[in-house]
Amino acid sequence: MEAEPRALTAEERRRLLLYQEAEITEYHIYGRLARMLKAPENKSVLEQIAADELRHYHRWREYTGQEVQPNRLKIWWYTLVSRVLGFTFGIKLMERGEGGAQDNYTSFGAALPEAETIAREESEHEEALIAMLDEERLRYTGSIVLGLNDALVELTGALAGLTLALQNTRLIAMTGAITGIAAALSMAASEYLSTKSEETTKNPLRAALYTGFAYVGTVLVLILPYLVLTNYYVCLALTLAAAILIIGFFNYYVSVAKDMPFKSRFLEMAGLSLGVAALSFIIGFVMRAVFGIEV
């Protein structure tokens, strides 16, 4: 026999209105994302989750007796994030915020006997999402990591060595660009052959393109300071800062979209890039002194 729900306190009602707003907001977000997708299996799961969110909203409304408007800013934001960075990242980012609500639902106790049921349904949402997510850019994360990591390690090291050896920003930029683009083509070709030889569902050409574009994009960002500034030490500092930002952004993206640890991966990639840059800077100093080069 179900327990009779007690009356809500003013604080509980206030909190419930916030959850009610979250449910109707997420209903609109999931609905929009479903309309964005072409794959019918992904679309149907998102439509079902949207329907569940709307049902939860109506259930909370029975307790509060009040209509609540969705948060238009959140709808706009998560839709934009999903369009730019992929629906997997957008959904996972939103579900991270929803995790706190699941825990808070159970705190209502006797006031809302069915709160635990709704919390369980929210947890099932995440499981359904994990099962349905099949986004091309995430299937090729390994290829992107290969291009990014190789460009960050090789080019930060090369630019650090060239900075002290050449001491001319335009010359450093030109040399770095030639080195980087040649390396990008080489890495793309290697990824094509590697993927083709593996038993995988990945398309070798797409894997090569993801690797190549990730490499070239990183090269362009890293040499940009040398194209617009004249102080080569400032350029090197900005290049290293840009490398850290790229590492931070990409690892955060992967940590959200693929539920992987952020800190350890970030520290590992940053440590490799900065370590190679420091060693290359020393090598550039030694080479300049040994060969007596003055540019």
The answer to the question of residue 236 being in a domain is yes
- Please indicate, yes or no, whether residues 259 and 153 belong to a single structural domain of this protein: yes
pLDDT score recorded for residue 73 = 94
Domain extent for 216: 137-291
Report which of 212, 213, 177 is spatially closest to residue 191, judged by C-alpha positions: 212
Report which of 109, 108, 105, 110 is spatially closest to residue 4, judged by C-alpha positions: 110
Domain total in the chain: 2
- Please indicate, yes or no, whether residues 102 and 237 belong to a single structural domain of this protein: no
The answer to the question of residue 5 being in a domain is no
How many angstroms separate the CA atoms of 203 and 233, rounded? 42
- Please indicate, yes or no, whether residues 152 and 286 belong to a single structural domain of this protein: yes
- Please indicate, yes or no, whether residues 116 and 248 belong to a single structural domain of this protein: no
Report which of 293, 172, 169 is spatially closest to residue 231, judged by C-alpha positions: 169
pLDDT score recorded for residue 44 = 83
The answer to the question of residue 153 being in a domain is yes
The answer to the question of residue 277 being in a domain is yes
Phi-psi group of 198: left, alpha or beta (phi > 0 → left; psi -120 to 50 → alpha; rest → beta): beta
- Please indicate, yes or no, whether residues 144 and 121 belong to a single structural domain of this protein: no
Q: Where does a domain end: 133, 162, 179?
A: 133
Q: What is the pTM of this model?
A: 0.74
- CA distances 98 to 25, 94, 102, Å, are 11, 6, 7
Q: Where does a domain end: 110, 133, 156?
A: 133
- Please indicate, yes or no, whether residues 146 and 96 belong to a single structural domain of this protein: no
- Please indicate, yes or no, whether residues 105 and 56 belong to a single structural domain of this protein: yes
The answer to the question of residue 274 being in a domain is yes
Write out the chain's pLDDT in tens, 295 residues: 445 555 667 777 888 888 889 889 989 999 998 888 877 877 888 888 888 889 888 888 888 888 999 999 999 999 999 888 888 888 888 877 665 555 566 566 556 666 667 667 666 666 666 666 666 667 777 778 778 878 888 888 888 878 877 788 899 899 889 988 888 888 889 888 888 887 777 788 888 888 889 889 989 999 999 999 889 889 989 998 998 998 888 888 888 877 778 888 888 888 877 787 777 777 766 766 666 555 4
- Please indicate, yes or no, whether residues 253 and 161 belong to a single structural domain of this protein: yes
Contact 87, 135 (CB under 8 A): yes
pLDDT score recorded for residue 284 = 67
The answer to the question of residue 2 being in a domain is no
- Please indicate, yes or no, whether residues 110 and 150 belong to a single structural domain of this protein: no
The answer to the question of residue 1 being in a domain is no
- Please indicate, yes or no, whether residues 142 and 256 belong to a single structural domain of this protein: yes
- Please indicate, yes or no, whether residues 129 and 160 belong to a single structural domain of this protein: no
Q: Where does a domain end: 103, 133, 163?
A: 133
- CA distances 35 to 43, 44, 117, 124, Å, are 7, 10, 28, 22
How many angstroms separate the CA atoms of 208 and 143, rounded? 7
Long-range contacts of 163-167 (CB under 8 A, 24+ apart): 163/232, 163/233, 163/235, 163/236, 163/281, 163/284, 164/281, 164/284, 164/285, 164/288, 165/284, 165/287, 165/288, 165/293, 165/295, 166/295, 167/232, 167/295
- Please indicate, yes or no, whether residues 224 and 171 belong to a single structural domain of this protein: yes
The answer to the question of residue 3 being in a domain is no
